[in-house]
Amino acid sequence: MSSVRPTKKTTASTAPTNPAPAPESVDTGFLRTLVGYNARRASLAVIEVFMERMAVYRLKVVDFSVLSLVAHNPGITSRQLCATLNVLPPNLVGLIAALERRGLIERRPHPSDGRAMGLHLTPAGVELTAQAEQTAAQLEVDATAGLTAAERKTLIRLLQKVYTQSAS
């Protein structure tokens, strides 16, 4: 038995009538009124360059964030990192282990919580984090070159207002 399916024939009643022509330019007017759309577009533009520039350090965005937080908060716990970065504990475990294997961070007993371990940068971690933070700071200036310093501060303040309000 043949398993050939009959093909559907286009008849006058099933043929599209006057298909709309493709637009010459795409109207993004509505999307451009949305905070989420604009925040995402800006984020994508910055993150793409961030990834390129952090590749020399072999750091992803979350790696950089963890190292920076540990650098500025020696002894921070994994629980505090999870809360600050909004990362699930199982996801952070592997990341911390990878940074530890690279010799960038080390765990030490927490001074006031006997059950917790504090995270600290190693000398190599201090050096790499300082270099990566300088790279990130320059990237921010480059990525926001169309803004004045005051506009940049305002943008950061407004974005923080959006995500801290939504966390409440």
pLDDT per position as a tens digit, 24-51: 899 999 999 999 999 999 999 899 999 9
pLDDT at 159: 92
Amino acid 14 reads T
pTM above 0.75, yes or no: yes
pLDDT per position as a tens digit, 51-101: 999 999 999 999 999 999 999 999 999 999 999 999 999 999 999 999 999
Amino acid 72 reads H
SS3 track for the chain: CCCCCCCCCCCCCCCCCCCCCCCCCCCCCCHHHCHHHHHHHHHHHHHHHHHHHHHHHCCCHHHHHHHHHHHHCCCEEHHHHHHHHCCCHHHHHHHHHHHHHCCCEEEEECCCCCCCEEEEECHHHHHHHHHHHHHHHHHHHHHCCCCCHHHHHHHHHHHHHHHHHHHC
Residues linked to residue 105 through DSSP beta bridges, in sequence order: 121
Tell me the pLDDT band of 2, cut-offs 50, 70 and 90: low
Mean pLDDT of 3-30: 70
Q: In the chain, what percentage of residues exceed pLDDT 90?
A: 76
Mean of per-residue pLDDT scores for the chain: 89
Lowest-confidence pick of 2-6, 80-84, 110-114, 151-155: 2-6
Tell me the pLDDT band of 5, cut-offs 50, 70 and 90: low
pLDDT at 114: 77
